[in-house]
Structure formats: structure tokens, C-alpha cells
Structure 1
Amino acid sequence: MSLADQVLAVNDDLPIRTNKPVHSGKVRSVYWLTEEDSQRLIKEKGYDVSPDAPLAIMVISDRISAFDCIWHGEGGLKGVPGKGAALNAISNHWFKLFKENGLADSHILDIPHPFVWIVQKAKPVMIEAICRKYITGSMWRAYEKGEREFCGIEMPEGLEKDKQLPELLITPSTKGILKGIPGVPEADDVNITRKNIEENFAAFNFTKADDINVYETLLKEGFGVISEALACVEQTFVDTKFEFGYVTDAAGNEKLIYMDEVGTPDSSRIWDTKEYNSGNIVENSKEGFRQFLLNHFPDPDILLNKERMPEREALARDNVLPLDALMDISKTYTSIAETITGQPVVLSDNPKQEIIDILSSQYGLID
């Protein structure tokens, strides 16, 4: 059994019954179920969703994306061993904690396998909601160059790198390319202000203006719950990204829910608290891999400069990364997952076959 066999790199070729094209993102692939299968599962499994809600199977992979590119390593390694299972385990843990704390639901209805979620279709809010407790990364780089306004919020003078901000900061950006919103460039991932959102709430897919407060509350509460839980295992929650959407429950009520993943090393920065208190930054997140890439290539500007995207894509395609770099990031992901959940991350010998077997025998979804 080679290491490459234990990595689920291609996750859009499973024989899951669907009559729509499989949507493959950077890390997850989405299989929309047929109407018949969706309605059958809602009935059989008693999911709290509208009886005609479209359901999908979301399969995570072990692919590693950074700087908007997918990277690969020596020995035919097309991903990071244990990464997918670690990401899902962490998200599942936080979603469960949100529920226990009376926060909103998520789009996840069922978890048949460590790599798989059964989700309901949600109407996404077109905002990447970034929450920051410390000034670091791109925000620090901009601050150091003299920028003081972030997403319409004026920052004070005298902030120090990697130090706690005066208060939790919400710095939203666009999710996808939004057209026709005054003052918002038609590009993916551009910073926006609360005023932009208030004046164009429908363009961002909010049902009503009051829901802007709801999303901000869910953001702060979610951040707080994760932050407190991480503090108990000597980890510092630095910043994170949340995504939200609307669904309708079985009783016909529309509600705002958490979508995508939460509090993972892919969507957050997590620092080792003991090391931080001693003056060292030890990243328990993908940030460590980004730093490795910036040091590994002679011209880091290719990775940081959006104007040089074709060169960046070539870099990711044509360069095989050293095995130990991918194993380092594997250790980061699996260790932080074990620290957070208290459970070991078990590497599957053949994740694809396991997924097919479960979805066939327990859900009747394999053709």
C-alpha cells in the first residue's frame, strides 16, 4: 500500500447517481442527487428539511490548495495524507458545538463517512465573512505600508504585528464576482464595507436588511465558541472565514445557517498559545504551508502578485514539492484535528472504495 494510494486526490469520478454535472471545487466535489433520491432520503432518514429540498453528496479530498493553485509532491503524491479527514473532523466538531450552544444549524444533514457530508441546498450569502482577533498576514502587510482603513473601519495608529486587535474585526469580501453594485469592483474576493452590504443587501442574497445583524451575530458567536474551546487546548484562534446561506426546514421556515467548513486549518489561523506567549509564532494551519512555498521558490512575488497568475499556475503545475514538506503539513493537520476533537485521524487504505461501499449499502446512491 503506497502513501499515494491513501490520498484521495480525485474526488469527482465516484459512481454516485446524479443527473447533473459534478461540481469540483479546490478541495470538495459536489454531487447533486436526483429528485427521487433526495425525497427518498429525506423520508427514510427523517432530515429536518423541506420535503422537496435538493440534497447533495459532498466529498472532500486530500488536495492542497494555496495561493489559488493546487500543489503536488514527490512519489506521485497528489495531496496531503490525512488532510481531508482532518478538515471534516474539525468542522463536524465545531458544528456540533454550535448546536450545543444554541447557535444556528449548518448545511450538513448526515456524515456517512469521514470524507463525506450529505448536505441540503442553501441559497448562499455572497460574502466571505472574515473575522480577525489579531493583526497579521495580509492585513498587517497593508497596515505596515500605511493603510488605516479596512472594509470601511478606521484602524488606530501604533498597532503591532501579530498582536491582539482592540476588538474583534469583521472584514467581509465578495464571494464570487458580483455585478452592478455601486462602489464594488466586479471581481472575486474584493473587500467590502458594511455600508455596501446595507445599501445592496438583496444583491448579496440577504432576504432582508435585518439579516445583516443576524449574520454578524452568528459570526461573533461562532468565533467566540471556537476561540474558547481552542483556549482550553492551549491554542489561539487568530482569524477565520465564515460563510452563510439560507435553507427552509420541514415546517417551511427560512433560516440563516452556517455553510461550508468552519474553524479549520484551511479557513483559519490557529497559533500554539504557549509558543505565542514565548514570542514565537507556530502555525497550526495552512499558513505554515504558505510560508514554506514563499521560502521554497526564489521569486515569492509570483505567489503574492495577482497580476502574475499564469506564472503561478505554471509553478504549481511544473514543480514537484519535496515529500517532507507535504508530510509536515500532514502532521500539522492531523495533530490539530486530534488536539481539537480528542480523537485520532485514521488514514484509510482505500478511501474511495469505502465511500462507494457505504453510499451503496446504507443510502442506495451508487449505480
Structure 2
Amino acid sequence: MSLADQVLAVNDDLPIRTDKPVHSGKVRSVYWLTEADSRRLIKEKNYDVPSDTPLAIMVISDRISAFDCIWTGEGGMRGVPGKGAALNAVSNHWFKLFKENGLADSHILDIPHPFVWIVQKAQPVMIEAICRQYITGSMWRAYENGEREFCGIELPEGLAKDSKLPELLQTPSTKGILKGIPGVPEADDVNITRKNIEDNFEAFNFKSESDIALYERLLTDGFDLITEALAKINQIFIDTKFEFGYVKDKSGNDKLIYMDEVGTPDSSRIWDGAQYHNGKVVENSKEGFRQLLLNYFPDPDILLNKNRMDEREALARNNELPTEVLMQVSQTYTEIAEKITGEKIVLSDNPKAEIISVLKEHYQLID
């Protein structure tokens, strides 16, 4: 069994019964179930949702994206072994902890396989909810260039790179291109202020203005909970991105939930605590892979400059990374996942065959 066989690179070609096109993102693919299958599973599995809720199968892959491109390796490696299972395991762990601590539910109803979630349809809030506890990355680059205001928040003078911020900051940005909001450029991932959200809460898909404070509380409480849990294993939670949405409870009432993924090495920066206290930053997240790419290619501006997207896509398409690079990334993902969950990440010999078998035998979703 070669390493390439253990990687689930293509996840949009599973024979899951659906009457809608498969939606494929950078890492996950979504299969909307037929109305009949959704109703059957809600009844059979007793999911806590209204009987007419649309359900989907969400299948993660081992693909790795950075700088808005998908990267591959030598020898037919189309992803990073263990990455998908590690991401799902970490998200599952935090979602469960959030629920146990009375924060909010997630979109996940069932976990048939380490690569698979059964989710309920949610109406997303059109905000990338970003929280920062340290100044690094894009915020540091902007600060170093003289910027002091971020998302309507004024930062003090004299901050040092990679240092802890005076307080936890929420620096939201747009999720997708939002049109017709005064003062908000029509572009994906642009910084916004709390006032932008308050003045246009319906355009961001909030059901009420009071839900803005709820989303902020869920963001801060979730961040604090992960921070405390990571501190126990000597890891530092630096910054993260959460996403929120609305679903209906069994009685048909709207409720705000966590969705997408939380606290993973893809959506967060996590630093090794012991190394940080010795003055060294060691990344236990995708940021390490980003830094590796910036050091690997002679012209890092291609990766950082949005105006050079064509060159960047060509770079990703035409450069297979050495196997040891992808295995280094695999080690980062699986080790941090094992530390967080306390459980071993097991690599499947053939993840696709396993998924098909589980969904056929236990969920009757494959003909």
C-alpha cells in the first residue's frame, strides 16, 4: 500500500444518493441527501431537528490549501496523509466540549467515519469571525507598516512581533462578496467593524441585532475554552477563525450554532508553549506549511501578492513538493490532533472504500 493510496485526495465522486450537484470546497465536499433520505435518517437516528430538515453528507479530504491554492507532492501524493482525519478529530473534540459547557450546538448530527459528518442545513452568517490573542501574521505585517487601526480597534504603539496583545481582539472580515453595504468593499475577506455589522445586521444574515452580541460571546467563550484546554498540554492558542449559522430546533425555532470547523490547525495558529517561552515560535498548525512555502520558493511575493494570482496558481500547479515536506506537515497535523484529543490518529489503508461501506451498510445511502 503506497502513501499516495492512503490519501483521500478526491472526495466528490462517491456514489452517495443525491439529486443535487456535489458542492466541493478546498478541503470538504458536500452531498445533499434526497428529501426522502433526510426524513428517513431523522426518524431512524432520532436526530434533534425538525422532520423536514435537509441533511447533507460532508466528506473531508487530505488536500492541503495555502495562499488560496491546492498543493501536491511527488509520487502522485495529492494531499497530506492523516490530515483529514486529524482535522475532523480536533473539530469533533471542540464542538463536543462547547456543547458540554453550554455554549452552543454545531451543524454536526452524526459522525459515521473519521472522514465523514452528517450535517443539517444551516443558514450561514456572512462573517469570518476572527479572534486574536497575539500579534503575528498579516496583522503584524500591517502593524509593522504603520497601521494602527484594525476593524475599528486602535492598537497601542510599541507592540513587538509575536507578543501577546493587551486584550483578546475580535477582527471580523466578510465571508464571500457582500454587495450594497455602505463602507464595505465588494470583495471576499475584507476587514469590517462592529459598526458595519450593527448598521447592516440583516445583510450579514443575522436574524436580530441582539444576535451580534451572542455571536461575539460564543466567539470569546469558545476561544477562552480552547485556550485553557491547550494550556494544559503546553500549547498556546494564538488566533482562530470561527463560522456561525442558524438552524432550527425540533420546535422550529431559530438557534445560532458553530459551523464549519473550530480550533483546527487549518483555521487557527497554535504554538508550542515550551519553545515560545524560550523565545522561539514553533507552529503546530498550517502556518508552518505557509512559512515553508514562503522559504521554499525564490519569490515569496507571488504567494503574498493578490495581484499575482495567475503566477501563484501556476506555481502550485507546476511544482510537486518533496514527499518529506508533505510528511512533515502530516506529522504536525497528526501530533497536535493526538495531543488535543488524547487518541491516536489511525491512517486508513483505503479511506474511500471504508466510507462507501459504512454509508451503505449503516445508513442505506448507497445503491
**Rounded Cα–Cα distance in structure 1 between residues aligned with 2:183 and 2:271:** 35
Counterpart in the other structure of 2:195: 195
**Rounded Cα–Cα distance in structure 2 between residues aligned with 1:201 and 1:254:** 16
Instruction: Tell me how far 1:209 sits from its aligned partner.
Output: 0.4
Instruction: Tell me how far 1:253 sits from its aligned partner.
Output: 1.6
**Rounded Cα–Cα distance in structure 2 between residues aligned with 1:365 and 1:211:** 36
Q: Which runs of 4+ in 1 moved over 4 A?
A: none
Counterpart in the other structure of 1:106: 106
Taking the TM superposition and a 5 Å limit, the aligned residue runs for 1:176-255 are 176-255=176-255
**Residue identity matched to 2:97:** L
- What do you get for the CA RMSD once the two structures are aligned? 0.4
Counterpart in the other structure of 2:324: 324
In structure 2, the residue corresponding to 1:241 is in which secondary structure? strand
Work out the number of aligned pairs and report it. Answer: 367
Matched, 1:4 2:4: yes
**Residue identity matched to 1:195:** K
Instruction: Tell me how far 1:135 sits from its aligned partner.
Output: 0.3
Residues 192-229 of structure 1, C-alpha deviations (whole Å, 9 max, x = no match): 00000000000000000000000000000000110100
Instruction: Tell me how far 1:251 sits from its aligned partner.
Output: 1.6
Instruction: Tell me how far 1:344 sits from its aligned partner.
Output: 0.5
Matched, 1:94 2:87: no
Counterpart in the other structure of 1:141: 141
In structure 2, the residue corresponding to 1:205 is in which secondary structure? coil
Instruction: Tell me how far 1:148 sits from its aligned partner.
Output: 0.2
Residues 58-100 of structure 1, C-alpha deviations (whole Å, 9 max, x = no match): 0000000000000000110000000000000000000111111
Residues 325-357 of structure 1, C-alpha deviations (whole Å, 9 max, x = no match): 100000000000000000000000000000000
Counterpart in the other structure of 1:261: 261
Residues 112-160 of structure 1, C-alpha deviations (whole Å, 9 max, x = no match): 0000000000000000000000000000000011000000111111111
Counterpart in the other structure of 1:357: 357
Residues 12-43 of structure 1, C-alpha deviations (whole Å, 9 max, x = no match): 00000000000000000000000000000000
**Rounded Cα–Cα distance in structure 2 between residues aligned with 1:25 and 1:54:** 19
Counterpart in the other structure of 1:32: 32
Query: Bigger shift: 94-103 or 210-219?
Result: 94-103
**Rounded Cα–Cα distance in structure 2 between residues aligned with 1:103 and 1:16:** 33
Instruction: Tell me how far 1:290 sits from its aligned partner.
Output: 0.2
Residues 283-328 of structure 1, C-alpha deviations (whole Å, 9 max, x = no match): 0000000000000001000000000000000000000101111000
**Rounded Cα–Cα distance in structure 2 between residues aligned with 1:17 and 1:170:** 41
Counterpart in the other structure of 1:169: 169
**Residue identity matched to 1:115:** F
**Rounded Cα–Cα distance in structure 2 between residues aligned with 1:326 and 1:267:** 18
**Rounded Cα–Cα distance in structure 2 between residues aligned with 1:279 and 1:47:** 48
Which runs of no fewer than 5 residues in structure 1 stay unpaired?
Answer: none
**Rounded Cα–Cα distance in structure 1 between residues aligned with 2:53 and 2:225:** 30
Residues 158-198 of structure 1, C-alpha deviations (whole Å, 9 max, x = no match): 11110110110000000000000001011100000000000
Instruction: Tell me how far 1:6 sits from its aligned partner.
Output: 0.2
Counterpart in the other structure of 1:159: 159
The alignment's TM-score, normalised by the length of structure 1, stands at 1.00
**Residue identity matched to 2:38:** S
**Rounded Cα–Cα distance in structure 1 between residues aligned with 2:40 and 2:262:** 29
**Residue identity matched to 1:117:** W
Counterpart in the other structure of 1:51: 51
**Residue identity matched to 1:166:** P
**Rounded Cα–Cα distance in structure 2 between residues aligned with 1:192 and 1:309:** 23
In structure 2, the residue corresponding to 1:316 is in which secondary structure? helix
Identity %: 80
Taking the TM superposition and a 5 Å limit, the aligned residue runs for 1:75-86 are 75-86=75-86
The alignment's TM-score, normalised by the length of structure 2, stands at 1.00
Counterpart in the other structure of 1:277: 277
In structure 1, the residue corresponding to 2:21 is in which secondary structure? coil
**Rounded Cα–Cα distance in structure 2 between residues aligned with 1:263 and 1:147:** 27
In structure 2, the residue corresponding to 1:334 is in which secondary structure? helix
Matched, 1:287 2:287: yes
Instruction: Tell me how far 1:50 sits from its aligned partner.
Output: 1.2
**Rounded Cα–Cα distance in structure 2 between residues aligned with 1:212 and 1:139:** 23
**Rounded Cα–Cα distance in structure 2 between residues aligned with 1:157 and 1:182:** 30
In structure 1, the residue corresponding to 2:283 is in which secondary structure? coil
Which runs of no fewer than 5 residues in structure 2 stay unpaired?
Answer: none
**Rounded Cα–Cα distance in structure 2 between residues aligned with 1:73 and 1:224:** 36
Instruction: Tell me how far 1:233 sits from its aligned partner.
Output: 0.5
